[in-house]
Structure 1
Amino acid sequence: QGMAVYNGNIENNNNTICWNSLSLIVSTKSISGSFLTELLERIEYSSTIPSLVKILYQDQSAENQNQTGDYLLNNTQPKFELGFSETICITSYDNNNEQFGHWLAGIIDGDGSLLVSKAGNPEIEITLHEEDVKTLYKIKSILGAGKVTPRSKSKAYRIRIRNKEGVKKVINLINGKLLTPGKHQQLINICNILKITPIINNTFCSDNAWFSGFFDAEGYLSIRNKYTLTLSVSQKDRRILEKISVGFNCGNIYKDKSWDGFNYCVTKRASLDIYMKYFKKFPLLTVKNVDIVTFNRLLLFLERKYHFANSSNKNRIDHLIALFKNRKKK
């Protein structure tokens, strides 16, 4: 299979992007914010881009000879800050079983199932939209188990884990981390087969990756009216949405009679900032992370009043919103 690579020269910077390895490699005498802004505008809406992009760079300036670093391209003004401990760099949860377990529990609470066949065999299944098939392969790679296949008559793929040792590995990762009542019962059933003590947790915490996994499965970002940015999660069961709302101390829950369910919505900019900071610490692992990049930039543009009629930068925010909405139509 060929390697997807972008080669370019932006602002006299020699750079290469390898989408397959999620890397942007930069070799330059100086790294500027405008270089990254232009790069974002070029790559942000390509359907071939993975949800997370790792930046590897080499600063050849006199004061920083041959120093390197890597950063997640997931905010509006990416900064190259060598040696700062507060800089968060997470491109996956490969080396953090605890947080990967929370993220995995979240995505299973949203789009997964813990099953026991009629023959008494345990099985785990996660289904995602076809654009997120790379996420399923990422799960398979981390677990070292599972088979990824397309779902018939739908634009979706699923990973199924049937190997007993693979199922045990998943259960040990998520035990005590699932939060929805339906998955609690499934956990009890599958643990009985595996002879593992189920741990039932009903406490939501905004300082782990559970919500990131849940949002990867059930969340949605949209722009209402003209400049109203909206983060939303829909569920049949209101209880989990109440826990999320209380945990982040923001947002409202509405009844949707059209499908007899509930929508949790966040529209205030201060509240959206809370979520953007959360996703910086616990990044999404699906293509929704591209939307997070856009929302971060739009929040900055709104703060700078680019949307005002007399702003010389109004075309920038309008263009970015148009690109976002066009991408959503695909």
Structure 2
Amino acid sequence: MNTNKEITENQTSWNQYLAGLIDGDGSLLISNTGFASLEITMDIYDEYALNKIKQKLGGSVKLRSGARAFRYRLHNKTGLLDAIHRISGNIRNSKRVPQLQKICNLYNIPYKEPVPLTIENAWFAGFFDADGTISYSMKRESPQLILSVSNKYNIDLIMFKEFFGGYIRLDKASNTYKWELYNANDISFFCDYLKKYPLHSHKKKRIFLIKRYYSLKACCAYKQEPNSLLYKAWRKFEEDWNNL
């Protein structure tokens, strides 16, 4: 049975996660007629994650017309005030902060500056669910695992580098900045963080497969004879990796 302290901690973590998700994939909007709304758009595979938010706050989840994405929308004032109360003090993205400030002003709610981040904050999980990527590619005939987060502004990625290591670079092809993890120890440290503050998107499946990836890579399973058990294990891993 959960204690009151555990319930409070779980609620706090969920609020932090929600703020991170909104910082990455959300928008806090005010219409021309003065009505506020919260929108979060996620991948076609992430209806489950958005429905969890709907269960807590109300709102709706709909498939976006002509896009491989689902959109969560909340415009009911009671639900919106609840959401603002939850994320207040946790929104920190350079684009999202001004949006929150305008809605706080609309409803005469004092705006709270973001609290200092620590490793004991689920915000990173929410932002990774929004803008993170888990992939691998062949480099010099060996697979290289990469965890990354993309954002238009370098300033919105610095905290990932500060807490988890890695590098930030400008991706000229997409004109966005990317925080990237290559080092196995750094990736393991980030995965340990996600054990305490789990993802809710489809990306969690690949996180669960990382341990198997390193085990098979250590055996060079990817370059064994096609009929060998090791190579078949690698092919099964690839199948599971791509089965979103």
Q: Where does 1:205-284 land on structure 2 (aligned, <5 Å)?
A: 205-225=118-138, 226-248=142-164, 250-284=165-199
- Secondary structure of the 2:168 match is strand
Are 1:315 and 2:231 matched, yes or no? yes
State the 1:204 CA deviation. Answer: 3.1
SS in 1 for 2:239: helix
Once the two structures are TM-superposed, the CA of residue 290 in structure 1 deviates from its matched residue by 0.6
- SS of alignment partner, residue 293 of structure 1: helix
TM-score, structure 2 normalization: 0.88
Code of the aligned partner of 2:212: R
CA distance in 1, matches of 2:115, 2:150: 19
- CA–CA distance in 2 between the matches of 1:310 and 1:137? 43
Aligned to 1:119: 33
Q: Separation in 1 of the partners of 2:47 and 2:236?
A: 26
Q: CA deviation at 1:325?
A: 5.3
**What is the identity, as a one-letter code, of the residue corresponding to 1:227?**
P
- Residue correspondences, number: 233
* Contact 1:204–1:247, Cα closer than 8 Å, also in 2: no
CA 159–310 in structure 1, closer or farther in 2 if over 3 Å, else same: closer
Gaps of 5+ in 2: 1-6
RMSD between superposed Cα atoms in Å: 2.3
Does the 8 Å CA contact 1:251/1:265 hold for their aligned counterparts?
A: yes
Distance 1:175 1:134 in 2: 24
**Which residue of structure 1 lines up, in the alignment, with residue 63 of structure 2?**
150
TM-score by length of 1: 0.66
C-alpha distance in 2 between matches for 1:135 and 1:310: 38
Deviation at 1:203, TM superposition (A): 3.3
Is 2:213 the partner of 1:298?
yes
**1:101 aligns to 2:1 (yes or no):** no
Give the aligned residue type for 1:165: T
Q: 43, 49, 70: which one pairs with 1:135?
A: 49
- Quick one: structure 1 residues 149 and 95, their matched pair in 2 at CA, closer, same or farther if it must change by over 3 Å? farther
Bigger Rg over Cα: 1
Once the 2 structures are TM-superposed, how far is the Cα of residue 255 of structure 1 from its aligned partner? 1.2
1:306–1:313 contact (8 Å) kept in structure 2: no
Alpha-carbon spacing, 1:317–1:203, altered in 2? closer, same or farther (3 Å) = farther
Given the alignment, which residue of 184, 188, 199 partners 2:101?
A: 188
> For 1:24-72, what per-residue CA distance to the aligned partner results, in whole angstroms no more than 9, with x for missing partners?
xxxxxxxxxxxxxxxxxxxxxxxxxxxxxxxxxxxxxxxxxxxxxxxxx
Give a deviation string over 1:92-130, Cα, whole Å, max 9, x none: x99822011100001100100111111111111111112
Q: Which moved more, 1:251-260 or 1:212-221?
A: 251-260
State the distance in 2 between where 1:210 and 1:198 align. Answer: 18
**SS at structure 2 position matched to 1:180:** coil
The one of 74, 77, 80 aligned to 1:167: 80
Quick check: which one's helix share is greater?
2
User: How far is the alpha carbon of 1:299 from its aligned partner?
Assistant: 2.7
Give the match for residue 36 of structure 1.
none
